């Protein structure tokens, strides 16, 4: 008999073709680095002051007193267009990025992560669920502080969180805020330059790294029971404490992801939750304080192009393969079977960038949805009335 599906989701089964990659959530426990030690290191050597340029060497700055090494000419230090683009992104977005400090019930800071303002007029800040989940009831007092790039620190309250997508929304006083713009993650091409901003290790606030979008539509196991879907993969450095910070498309200065995971046994392998998922989940959390998903009652794996070809499906077919149907579930009542290949929800395609979990966010228990599927090579549709997660 199949194990029951956890009540909070249509839990995807682990794909047998997934290679073992050790992944870390990139929140950080406070206390790993001494702030005093960091400050001593950074200020231990004094800077020298350059003398005025020598008249006998046009275009070249004179060396500092006591040095015989020439300084670069003005032409060699002129920033490239790419440099200017990255600098512009940072100048524009840095005021929107925050450090989130998570307090234990004792009132002592226990961990930290990153986040960013998405609505300046109402004070909403997006971060990761794992940055805020182990906290006392924020209604009993401020369980969080949010620190801005100018070192302003304000208390924040928890609006809502969603473990299945690892997203959360905080609210701070709507004063002097600048919001980052959520872009359309479907539009960003693989290879596009991106910038990550956050507070790695809980100490190095306002850290900027850059890289590219390495891949899209990744599906990664965050825990044994929870898969994150529609992830962007990037080689921009993402470290502990970067959780919840923005991944920004340099060309548009728009946020296209929330930095969340990094591979611990590989280099340049980080993952961000797509902005399209962020938009849907954050909107729902702001409206209702939680996500109530309609329950289907299946376990599934993604349909790969190779499997689609082996099954004789039309070229380009994408979707999911049902591996188990929960007894007594809406799926069983609607007649779904193992090995059914579901390709659409209400005529919207299921694929790596539009996973079933994301498509179901907009529906509630009692809603009826039409599933398009292939069974024994034939395409058909089945109506399913969504249930309440148990």
pLDDT tens digits for 269-283? 899 999 999 999 999
**Is 106 among the residues known to form the active site?**
no
* Both structure tokens of 16: 């047998």
pLDDT digits (tens, 9 = 90+) for 145-193: 999 999 999 999 999 999 889 999 999 999 999 999 999 999 999 999 9
* Alpha-carbon span 374 to 360, nearest angstrom: 20
196 membership: H or E segment, kind and range: strand 193-198
pLDDT of 108 reads 78
Higher pLDDT: 204 or 173? It is 173
Task: Report how far apart, in Å, the C-alpha atoms of 338 and of each of 2, 65, 310 are.
Answer: 11, 78, 17
Residue 366 near residue 330, CB atoms below 8 Å: no
**Half-sphere exposure of residue 380: CA atoms within 13 angstroms, side-chain side:** 11
Q: What sections of the chain are H helices per DSSP?
A: 35-42, 81-93, 129-132, 275-288, 305-310, 330-333, 356-359
**Is 243 among the residues known to form the active site?**
yes
- Which of 138, 243, 275, 329 does the annotation list as catalytic? 243
* Both structure tokens of 224: 């044994």
pLDDT digits (tens, 9 = 90+) for 277-302: 999 999 999 999 988 888 899 999 99
- Which of 166, 230, 274, 354 does the annotation list as catalytic? 166
**Is 354 among the residues known to form the active site?**
no
pTM of the model: 0.71
pLDDT of 39 over the 50 cut: no
Residue 52: phi and psi, rounded to 5, are -60, 155
Task: Give 3-state DSSP helix, strand, coil % of the chain, rounded to 5.
Answer: 15, 35, 50
* Alpha-carbon span 158 to 169, nearest angstrom: 6
**Domain parsing of the chain, residue ranges:** 23-28+181-279, 298-385
* Both structure tokens of 114: 């990153």
The helix/strand/coil state of 138 is helix
- What CATH code is assigned to 298-385? 2.30.42.10
Fold of 23-28+181-279: Thrombin, subunit H (2.40.10)
- Which of 111, 130, 162, 275 does the annotation list as catalytic? 130
């Amino acid at each position: 008999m199949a194990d029951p599906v956890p009540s909070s989701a249509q839990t995807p089964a682990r794909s047998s073709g997934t290679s073992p990659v050790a992944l870390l959530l990139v929140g950080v426990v406070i206390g790993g680095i001494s702030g005093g030690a960091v400050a001593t290191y950074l200020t231990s050597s004094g800077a020298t002051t350059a003398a005025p340029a020598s008249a006998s060497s046009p275009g070249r700055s004179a060396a500092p007193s006591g040095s015989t090494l020439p300084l670069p000419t003005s032409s060699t230090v002129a920033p490239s267009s790419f440099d200017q683009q990255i600098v512009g992104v940072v100048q524009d977005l840095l005021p929107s990025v925050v450090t989130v400090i998570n307090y234990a019930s004792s009132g002592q800071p226990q961990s930290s992560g990153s986040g960013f303002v998405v609505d300046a007029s109402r004070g909403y800040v997006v971060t990761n669920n794992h940055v805020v989940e182990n906290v006392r009831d924020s209604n009993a007092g401020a369980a969080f502080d949010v620190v801005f790039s100018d070192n302003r620190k304000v208390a924040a309250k928890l609006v809502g969180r969603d473990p299945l997508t690892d997203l959360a929304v905080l609210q701070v006083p709507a004063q002097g805020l600048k919001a980052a713009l959520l872009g359309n993650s479907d539009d960003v091409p693989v290879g596009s330059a991106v910038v990550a901003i956050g507070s790695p290790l809980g100490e190095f606030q306002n850290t900027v790294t850059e890289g590219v979008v390495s891949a899209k539509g990744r599906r990664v196991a965050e825990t044994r029971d929870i898969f994150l879907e529609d992830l962007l993969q990037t080689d921009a450095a993402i470290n502990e404490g970067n959780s919840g910070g923005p991944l920004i498309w340099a060309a548009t200065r728009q946020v296209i992801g929330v930095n969340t995971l990094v591979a611990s046994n590989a280099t340049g392998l980080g993952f961000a939750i797509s902005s399209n998922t962020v938009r849907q989940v954050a909107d729902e959390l702001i409206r209702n304080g939680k996500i109530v998903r309609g329950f289907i009652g299946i376990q599934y794996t993604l349909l790969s192009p190779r499997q689609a070809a082996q099954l004789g499906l039309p070229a380009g077919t994408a979707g999911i393969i049902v591996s188990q149907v929960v007894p007594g579930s809406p799926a069983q009542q609607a007649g779904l079977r193992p090995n059914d290949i579901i390709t659409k929800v209400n005529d919207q395609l299921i694929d790596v960038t539009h996973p079933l979990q994301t498509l179901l966010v907009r529906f509630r228990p009692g809603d009826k949805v039409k599933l398009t599927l292939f069974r024994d090579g034939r395409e058909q549709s089945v109506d399913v009335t969504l249930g309440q997660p148990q």
